[in-house]
C-alpha cells in the first residue's frame, strides 16, 4: 500500500458460470439476491478488516493466540468479516513450495484461521494468489488444492465451509502490458468458471484496486466521487453487490485524525447507499493487528486496544 489505497471488489456472481445459491444452517453461506448479500435469508452487511498475516502467524502454534486476539478484538467492535491471504508460495514458510507440493504445517495454520473465524462468528474472504512477488506472486497457484482441502481441525472441506464467505481470484490483478483491461477480463472469464466448477457454494470476487491522490483534500474529494461512481456502476450496469474490501491511510505523513476522517468518508458512503437498498454491502479496512505484533507494523495498522478514536469510529459504524 502507498499513502492511500481503496481497493474495489465486485462480487463476481454470474449465473452462466453455474453459481448455486444454497440455504444454509444458522451459520450458513452468504448468498446474493439482486444487488444484496443475504445470510440465512436476511440482509448481510460486511463490516470488517484485513489481516493478511493470519496464516503465516498461525503456522507456529505458539503464536496462534495473536489470531485469536485479533478475532476477539474484532468481534467486540462489531466486525463480522475478515480478508486474508490463502497463499504463500516458495521462499520462507511456503504453503506451496513447488508446483503441486504443499506444506501441511502451513495448511494447518490456515485451517486454524478458518476454524477460529467460525468460532467468533466471522466470515472469511480468502485471496488465492498475489499479483506481486511477495508471498509467491501470480506465477504460483493453489486453486485446486484449496478446493480439495479438508480442515484438519473441523474436518469440513473448504468448499463446504460456510465460514468462508468468498474466494478472491487475485490480490490486485494488473496487466501493465495491456492497459485496455482486455487481458485481465479474458483471464477472469477463463478462471472464474473453473473455480465455480470446483466450488459452487461460495461467492467469488476479483480483487481490483485503485490508488488515490497525494494530499488529504484531493484524496477525500476524489474518494467521494470514485466511491459513488463505482457503486452506481455496480448497481446500474453490473447489477452486482460491491464490497470495498481494502481501504486505509498511512500514518507516516498524516495523523490519526486524518485517517479517521477517511474511514468516516468510506463508512458513511457505504451506509447511506445501503440504507436506501443500494449495491454497497460493506467495507474492510487495512489492516488489523493484535497488540504485541510490532514486527508487522507498516504505518497502516489499526490496533483496536490502542487506537481509541479509530476503534470508537469502527464500533459506531458497525
Q: List pLDDT tens digits, range 152-162.
A: 999 999 999 99
Residue 143's pLDDT band (boundaries 50, 70, 90)?
low
Residues 293-304: what's their mean pLDDT?
93
Q: How far apart are CA 53 and CA 226, in angstroms?
A: 29
The answer, yes or no, to whether residue 3 has pLDDT greater than 60, is no
The three three-digit cell numbers of residue 99, written as one number: 508446483
| pLDDT score, position 171 | 83
Q: Is residue 315, in this structure, part of any structural domain at all?
A: no
Residues spanned by the domain of 47 = 4-290
Catalytic residue annotation: 172, 246
Classify residue 309: in a domain, yes or no. no
Its pTM stands at: 0.88
CA distances from 10 to 5, 48, 168, 244 (A): 16, 16, 10, 8
* Cα dihedral 296/299/301/306 (nearest 10): 110
137-140 — which CB contacts under 8 Å span 24+ positions? Answer: 137/89, 138/170, 138/173, 140/87, 140/89, 140/90, 140/96, 140/99
| Domain-embedded: residue 300 | no
Report the percent of the chain where pLDDT is more than 70: 84
- ω into residue 162 within 30 of 0, thus cis? no
Residue 210's pLDDT is what? 65
> What is the rounded average pLDDT of the residues 198-222?
78
The domain that holds 176 is classified in CATH as 3.20.20.80
Q: Say whether pLDDT at 9 is over 80.
A: no
Whether 226 maps to a domain, the answer reads yes
pLDDT digits (tens, 9 = 90+) for 47-71: 999 999 999 999 999 999 999 999 9
Quick: pLDDT tens for 13-23.
433 333 333 33
**What is the C-alpha separation between 205 and 237, in angstroms, rounded?**
17
What string of DSSP letters covers 48-83? EEE-TTHHHHHTSGGGHHHHHHHHHHHHHTT--EEE
Quick check: 77 and 311 in contact, CB under 8 A?
Answer: yes
Q: Region 86-106: what's the mean pLDDT?
A: 81
Q: What is the rounded CA–CA span in Å between residue 54 and residue 133?
A: 19
Three-state SS sequence of 245-295: EEEEECCCCCCHHHHHHHHHHHHHHHHHHHHCCCCEEEEEECCECCCCCHH
Query: At 65, phi and psi to the nearest 5?
Result: -60, -25
Domain-located, residue 61: yes
| Full 3-state SS string of 137-151 | CCCCCCHHHHHHCEC
Is the distance from CB of 4 to CB of 195 less than 8 angstroms?
no
Percentage, residues of the chain above pLDDT 90: 55
Cβ within 8 Å of residue 169, ≥6 positions away: 12, 128, 129, 188, 191, 192, 195, 204, 205, 206, 207
Q: How high is the pLDDT of residue 169?
A: 87
More confident residue, 148 or 24: 148
Residue 120: predicted pLDDT: 95
What's the whole-number average pLDDT of the chain?
84
Tell me if 173 is assigned to some domain.
Answer: yes
**What local confidence, expressed as pLDDT, does residue 79 receive?**
96
- Please tell me the total count of domains within the chain: 1
Q: Residue 192 pLDDT more than 90?
A: no
Q: Does 136 map to a domain?
A: yes
Flag whether pLDDT at 12 surpasses 50.
no
Distance separating alpha carbons of residues 291 and 232, to the nearest angstrom: 38
Q: CB-based contacts of 312: which residues, under 8 Å, 6+ apart?
A: none
CA 73 to chain centroid, in Å, comes to: 18
**pLDDT per residue as tens digits for the range 99-131:** 778 899 999 999 999 999 999 999 999 998 876
The confidence score (pLDDT) of residue 20 equals 30
Predicted pLDDT of residue 253: 80
In this prediction, residues 282-290 reach a mean pLDDT of: 95
∠133-137-141 over CA atoms, to 5°? 160
Does any domain span residue 313?
no
According to the model, what pLDDT value does residue 142 have?
58
Q: Report the pLDDT value the prediction gives residue 7, as an integer from 0 to 100.
A: 42
**229 burial via Cβ count (<10 Å: 0-12, 13-18, 19+):** exposed
Which of these, 20, 165, 177, 172, lies nearest to 82 by C-alpha position? 165
Q: Per residue in 132-164, is it b (16+ CB within 10 Å) or e — as a string?
A: eeebbbbebbbbebbbebebeeeebebbebbbb
Grid cell for residue 200: 459452487
Amino acid at each position: 500500500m502507498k499513502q492511500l489505497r481503496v481497493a474495489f471488489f465486485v462480487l463476481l456472481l454470474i449465473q452462466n458460470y453455474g453459481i448455486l445459491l444454497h440455504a444454509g444452517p444458522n451459520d450458513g453461506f452468504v448468498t446474493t439476491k439482486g444487488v444484496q448479500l443475504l445470510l440465512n435469508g436476511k440482509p448481510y452487511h460486511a463490516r470488517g478488516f484485513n489481516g493478511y498475516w493470519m496464516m503465516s502467524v498461525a503456522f507456529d502454534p505458539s503464536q496462534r493466540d495473536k489470531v485469536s486476539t485479533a478475532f476477539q478484538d474484532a468481534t467486540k467492535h462489531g466486525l463480522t468479516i475478515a480478508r486474508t491471504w490463502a497463499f504463500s508460495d516458495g521462499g520462507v514458510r511456503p504453503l506451496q513450495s513447488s508446483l503441486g507440493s504443499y506444506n501441511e504445517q502451513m495448511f494447518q495454520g490456515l485451517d486454524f484461521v478458518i476454524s477460529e473465524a467460525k468460532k467468533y462468528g466471522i466470515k472469511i474472504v480468502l485471496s488465492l494468489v498475489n499479483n506481486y512477488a511477495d508471498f509467491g506472486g501470480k506465477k504460483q497457484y493453489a486453486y485446486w488444492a484449496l478446493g480439495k482441502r479438508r480442515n484438519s481441525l473441523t474436518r469440513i472441506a473448504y468448499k463446504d465451509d460456510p465460514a468462508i464467505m468468498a474466494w478472491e481470484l487475485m490480490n490486485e490483478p494488473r496487466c501493465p502490458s495491456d492497459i485496455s483491461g482486455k487481458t485481465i477480463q479474458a483471464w477472469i472469464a477463463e478462471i472464474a468458471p473453473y473455480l465455480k466448477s470446483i466450488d459452487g457454494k461460495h461467492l467469488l470476487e476479483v480483487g481490483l484496486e485503485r490508488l488515490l491522490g497525494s494530499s488529504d483534500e484531493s484524496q477525500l474529494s476524489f474518494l467521494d466521487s470514485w466511491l459513488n461512481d463505482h457503486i452506481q456502476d455496480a448497481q446500474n450496469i453490473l447489477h452486482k453487490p460491491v464490497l470495498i474490501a481494502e481501504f486505509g491511510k498511512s500514518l507516516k505523513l498524516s495523523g490519526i485524525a486524518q485517517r479517521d476522517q477517511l474511514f468516516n468518508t468510506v463508512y458513511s458512503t457505504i451506509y447511506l447507499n445501503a440504507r436506501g437498498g443500494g449495491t454497497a454491502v460493506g467495507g474492510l479496512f487495512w489492516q488489523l493487528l493484535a497488540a504485541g505484533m510490532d514486527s508487522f507494523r507498516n504505518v497502516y495498522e489499526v490496533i483496536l486496544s490502542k487506537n481509541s478514536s479509530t476503534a470508537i469510529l469502527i464500533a459506531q459504524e458497525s
